[in-house]
Amino acid sequence: MDFNTTNDNRAPFQFTGRQQLIHGSLAEKSQEIADLYESALRVCWVEDNRGRFLLAAHAIREMTDNLPKVLDLPVNTGRLGDQVDVLEKVWDQTGKSSCHQGGNWTGAIDELLQNLLHKIEKLFEWRRENRRSRRLVVSKMFRDIDPSGQALPETLEKERTQSWLDLHEYFVSVAHRSPTTSEEFATKLEALEKILADSLYPTPSEDLSEIDRILEEGTSDA
């Protein structure tokens, strides 16, 4: 999908062949997840909407976050914001530490500073465990949604899991207003769709490309 084309004289929004298959497969598992996917595609189609990538990224983030839940996988990783809120309260108390003088830290570690350092250590431990848990959930998700019922080779599973996590992080960052470009967003979305297509509907890529070509010809002939 080309997000740079102007809206003038454009045909109405239409799924590509691959997108149609992904949407249908997602709808079989959850109409809500399928609707989020379609919403992301539709908002990207409206070029004069300046916030289209931010809005689309929000929808994709919700889709990728909730897909494991739809499969009844145990997603209980917690929120970083909650952890930071707890740490902030400890930090506020640390301002009273005898080690904090004139904006500088000096002297022996007292109880307040020791408590802060302990909480920071726990935060990083939680973050490492959170990442490990998320990786395990995503790996299990790919095993559960594969219609072939066959386990992926270990190397492929690790590669697909890492790609999914990297893409999820990208869409989360865009949803939080990190800058991106039309070309980058389209590339990342296509990469995400390839993973979904390979996982939900294992069909050779050349077959999907042929479906796209037929749909495009049909649109141009209309």
Q: Judge whether 124 and 163 are in contact, CB under 8 Å.
A: no
- How many CA atoms does the CB half-sphere of 146 hold within 13 Å? 16
Q: What is the DSSP letter of 108?
A: S
Strands (E), 28-180: 100-101, 104-105
Evaluate if residue 150 carries a pLDDT over 70.
Answer: no
Spatial separation of the C-alpha atoms in residues 131 and 127, rounded to whole Å: 6
CB 1 within 8 A of CB 186: yes
Backbone angle region of 10, left / alpha / beta, with phi > 0 → left and psi within -120 to 50 → alpha: beta
Given a cut of 50, whether residue 204 has pLDDT beyond it is: no
Most confident segment among 8-12, 107-111, 203-207: 107-111
Q: Count CA atoms closer than 13 A to 159's CA, side-chain side.
A: 9
| CA triple 117-119-120, angle to 5 deg | 65
Strands 104-105 and 100-101: antiparallel
What element of type H or E holds 133? Answer: helix 111-145
Q: Write down how long the chain is.
A: 222
Percent share of the chain, pLDDT over 70: 69
**Stretch 30-57: mean pLDDT, rounded?**
92
For the stretch 66-102, pLDDT in tens is 888 776 544 455 565 666 777 778 778 887 888 877 7
Measuring CA to CA, how many Å separate 207 from each of 1, 19, 35, 72, 192?
Answer: 17, 13, 25, 31, 18
pLDDT tens-place string over residues 133-149:
676 667 777 777 666 66
177 pLDDT above the threshold of 70: yes
